[in-house]
Structure 1
Amino acid sequence: MEDKPLTERLLEQLRHGTAEFELVTPSIPSIPAPALPRFPSPFLCGSSSRFFARIGWPSGGAASPALQKVESFSVQKITGDGRCMFRALVRGMAMNKGMPLSPREERDDAADELRMAVKEVICDSDVERRQHEGALVAITVEESLKRYCQRIDTSDFWGGESELLVLSKLCRQPIIVYIPEHEHAGGGRSASFIPIAEYGSEFSKASKNGKPRKAVRLLFSGKNHYDLLI
């Protein structure tokens, strides 16, 4: 019997939870690093490592130009209370609008408004959930939707890639996630950072539906923590 097409086999493995993938080494001449560090899937503060995809760069061995560039920023430290991703995102959006937040406002906005906005989309509305299939796939590869909806209802819920997928659309907000260059290179320290993921890039350009938005830049460290880059 002829083998099933690769795409069909992958979808079947994902559906039954048998697919196991990993991040593979890119070939980027401008950055002499042996491999990207391994990340939890999705990018979660405090998550344990578990892989469901072998992810490489596009054919030809090169990443997109946007993900090859080493950039320099200042780091704003974010409180590591389990809300780090939400805190960093809400602070970044407020700074882009020239609206400084108090620690209490940052905590309440991060814990309540952003987290609960994701819950309403993913857990409380079948119609809206269907508009975020990428986030839903990322969630249900790791756990059941029911379990996810129980966890996101708690104030110390760790946000990551699934939530960034949703929030970038809900807030019409470009978001870029970076890692420190020294983590990519496997040693030493550096004030430079490498972009590894981008969400909501369509909102960085002016359109009929609104003005261009300035990106919020999040720093994901090897300690499973998010800070803000400015």
Structure 2
Amino acid sequence: MSDRELPPPLRSIRITGDGRCLFRSVAYGACIRRGKQSPSDSAQKELADELRAKVADEFIKRRGDTEWFLEGNFESYVRKMRKPHAWGGEPELLMCSHVLGMPITVHMYTKGTDNPRIIAEYGQEYGKDNPVRVLYDGYGHYDALQPSLERSVANRRMARYVSFFYYFSRAAA
């Protein structure tokens, strides 16, 4: 399936639906946010499984803060989340933001709209600029969202200009 174009400055990146889609989408977005190349499908799987394990550990670390909002028995829930094909949701998105130290924004198409709307934000304590963005389909699947090529190129050019200006202003001092 090809990438579905969204109104600038975001575009949707189709993520494999193998029970890891939330973790794959977040890992993909974290790579892009860090300025790395888009991970291949096999790299997404590996990164998703690593992220999932860290999220399960984060639940345990934050048990006092998280136990009350998880469904059922805490130990059973965490054990289930360690399995590679268990679907993640809001609790996992919150823990992903803590594990990565990054904000995560969830978008979704809503009835009667042509553009996806923000439906949830996690990890705002890590900043509000440049969050990891994911697109939720409303039925259990997550895709990644990334800045459009034009915006990415413009941001890189601006960063080079600022670096160039900073270098020469320091050299002149």
Is TM > 0.5 for Structure 1 vs Structure 2? yes
Task: Quote the Cα distance in structure 1 between the aligned partners of 2:68 and 2:133.
Answer: 24
RMSD: 2.1
Task: Tell me the secondary structure at the aligned position of residue 89 of structure 1.
Answer: helix
Q: 1:104 aligns with which of 33, 42, 53?
A: 42
**1:73 and 1:193 in contact (8 A); partners too:** no
Distance 1:164 1:222, change over 3 A: closer
Query: What letter matches 1:107 in structure 2?
Result: K
> Is residue 147 from structure 1 mapped to residue 76 from structure 2 by the alignment?
yes
**2:108 and 2:117 in contact (8 A); partners too:** yes
> Is residue 194 from structure 1 mapped to residue 131 from structure 2 by the alignment?
no
Q: Which sections of structure 2, spanning at least 5 residues, go unmatched? A: 1-6, 147-173
TM-score, normalised to structure 2, is 0.72
**1:178 and 1:195 in contact (8 A); partners too:** yes
Task: Quote the Cα distance in structure 2 between the aligned partners of 1:71 and 1:137.
Answer: 39
Task: Quote the Cα distance in structure 2 between the aligned partners of 1:158 and 1:71.
Answer: 30
> Is residue 138 from structure 1 mapped to residue 69 from structure 2 by the alignment?
yes
Task: Tell me the secondary structure at the aligned position of residue 79 of structure 1.
Answer: coil
| Equivalence for 2:24 | 87
| Equivalence for 2:101 | 172
- State the 1:72 CA deviation: 6.2
Deviations 1:157-177 (A, max 9, x none): 211110111121221111111
Query: What letter matches 1:84 in structure 2?
Result: C
Task: Quote the Cα distance in structure 1 between the aligned partners of 2:125 and 2:82.
Answer: 29
Task: Quote the Cα distance in structure 1 between the aligned partners of 2:87 and 2:79.
Answer: 13
TM-score, normalised to structure 1, is 0.55
| Equivalence for 1:162 | 91
Q: Which runs of 4+ in 1 moved over 2 A?
A: 70-73, 135-138
Task: Quote the Cα distance in structure 2 between the aligned partners of 1:203 and 1:153.
Answer: 25
| Equivalence for 1:217 | 133
Q: Which sections of structure 1, spanning at least 5 residues, go unmatched? A: 1-69, 206-212
Task: Quote the Cα distance in structure 2 between the aligned partners of 1:222 and 1:168.
Answer: 21
- State the 1:85 CA deviation: 0.4
Query: What letter matches 1:138 in structure 2?
Result: F
What is the total number of aligned residue pairs between the two structures? 139
Q: Where do 1:59-98 residues align within 5 Å? A: 73-98=10-35
**1:72 and 1:193 in contact (8 A); partners too:** no
Distance 1:145 1:71, change over 3 A: farther
